[in-house]
């Protein structure tokens, strides 16, 4: 272990957002370092007196940083995209640094870790720079995720895609809230959904999702910018399937309203939930009249398919 090398992902935000940033970063790893100097002078003065480092007192006390440490031989691509999307979803202003590596260099260097990956029984997520010959019955989804979350390597994405295989029927209308790279809407289209509406609060994600939809030849995937459901207009009869691969807090916020966008027998697939928050999310959904019809867990992440009780 002593020779292990690490990639540092550092997020800096206003001190008031420190708890939110720490919560999101802890979903990536428990190897965290927190730098918060807001109380340094008050807490240390009188205890250590003149021994306080002058540089410490000069630190900007209005901001705090949380660093996550990822083994250098593991791709940090999904972790970076996950952190960006989750913090944007809950409205946190932040800056992200990656171990002194520029975003331009990082955007290409991480590709070496990203290979075709199968989710569920049929869907294979293929990075656009890789060649893959599909086997009988396989459905390939091409991805160039850029700086958006959703490469298919993260557990939450795989769990959602697997449940989409079970519940998307030919001709369905599908909604993806917090679409990231557009991967779930494109999967639904490839599985036979007739209309897919994907939305995200991040304009970069929306742009990338549009590019990926075009890359896959899925013109029935429409991508637009929206703060959760604010810009979503449900079709007559509602959406047959809705996915929300976001975070526990946002899913709890969606719970009271999302049912209005679903068809009478519509299915809501939720993920981005660490197992420690599972009961809280399930309770919120049940409180709004949903029942769990399917669920799965992988490496500490929880995903569920729910339906409104008759």
pLDDT at 54 over 80: no
Give the residue with greater pLDDT, 297 vs 59: 297
Nearest to 227 by CA among 254, 266, 187: 254
Strands (E), the chain: 6-14, 32-36, 63-71, 94-98, 117-119, 123-127, 139-143, 173-177, 195-200, 221-225, 239-245, 262-274, 290-298, 301-308
Q: pTM here?
A: 0.70
Cβ atoms 229, 200 nearer than 8 A: no
Residue ranges of the chain that CATH labels 3.40.50.150: 156-308
pLDDT at 44: 40
Stretch 291-302: mean pLDDT, rounded? 94
- CATH class of the region 6-110: alpha beta
Q: What pLDDT score was predicted for residue 1?
A: 36
% of the chain with per-residue pLDDT over 70: 81
Look up the CATH architecture of domain 156-308. Answer: 3-Layer(aba) Sandwich (3.40)
In the prediction, which pLDDT does 297 show? 94
Nearest to 27 by CA among 103, 113, 90, 72: 90
Query: Confidence band (pLDDT; 50, 70, 90) for 17?
Result: very high
Q: What residue ranges of the chain are covered by domains with CATH 3.30.70.120?
A: 6-110
**Among 95-104, 118-127, 180-189, 192-201, the least confident range:** 95-104
Residue 79: is its pLDDT beyond 90?
no
- Alpha-carbon Rg for the chain, nearest whole angstrom, is 21
Q: What mean pLDDT is reported for the chain?
A: 84
pLDDT of residue 150: 58
The predicted pLDDT at position 56 comes to: 45
What average pLDDT does this structure show over 243-256? 93
């Amino acid at each position: 272990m002593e020779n292990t090398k690490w990639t540092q992902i550092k997020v800096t935000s206003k001190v008031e957002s420190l708890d939110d940033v720490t919560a999101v970063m802890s979903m990536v790893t428990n190897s965290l370092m927190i730098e918060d100097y807001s109380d340094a002078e008050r807490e240390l003065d009188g205890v250590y007196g003149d021994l306080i480092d002058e540089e410490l007192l000069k630190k900007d006390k209005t901001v705090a940083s949380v660093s996550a440490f990822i083994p250098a031989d593991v791709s940090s691509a999904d972790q970076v995209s996950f952190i960006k999307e989750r913090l944007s979803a809950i409205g946190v202003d932040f800056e992200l640094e990656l171990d002194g590596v520029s975003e331009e260099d990082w955007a290409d260097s991480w590709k070496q870790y990203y290979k075709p990956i199968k989710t569920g029984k049929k869907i294979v997520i293929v990075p656009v720079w890789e060649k893959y010959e599909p086997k009988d019955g396989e459905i390939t989804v091409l991805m160039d995720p850029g700086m958006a979350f959703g490469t298919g390597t993260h557990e939450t994405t795989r769990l959602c895609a697997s449940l989409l295989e079970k519940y998307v029927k030919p001709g369905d209308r599908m909604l993806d809230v917090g679409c990231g790279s557009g991967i779930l809407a494109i999967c639904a289209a490839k599985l036979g959904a007739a209309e897919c509406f994907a939305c995200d609060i991040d304009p970069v994600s929306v742009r990338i999702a549009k590019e990926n939809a075009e890359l896959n030849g899925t013109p029935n995937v429409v991508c637009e910018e929206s703060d959760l459901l604010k810009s979503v207009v449900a079709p007559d009869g509602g959406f047959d399937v809705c996915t929300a691969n976001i975070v526990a807090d946002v899913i709890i916020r969606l719970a009271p309203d999302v049912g209005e966008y679903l068809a009478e027998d519509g299915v809501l697939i939720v993920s981005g939930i660490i197992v420690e928050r599972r009961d809280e999310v399930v309770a919120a959904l049940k409180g709004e009249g949903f029942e769990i019809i399917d669920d799965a867990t992988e490496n500490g992440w929880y995903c569920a398919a729910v339906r409104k009780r008759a």
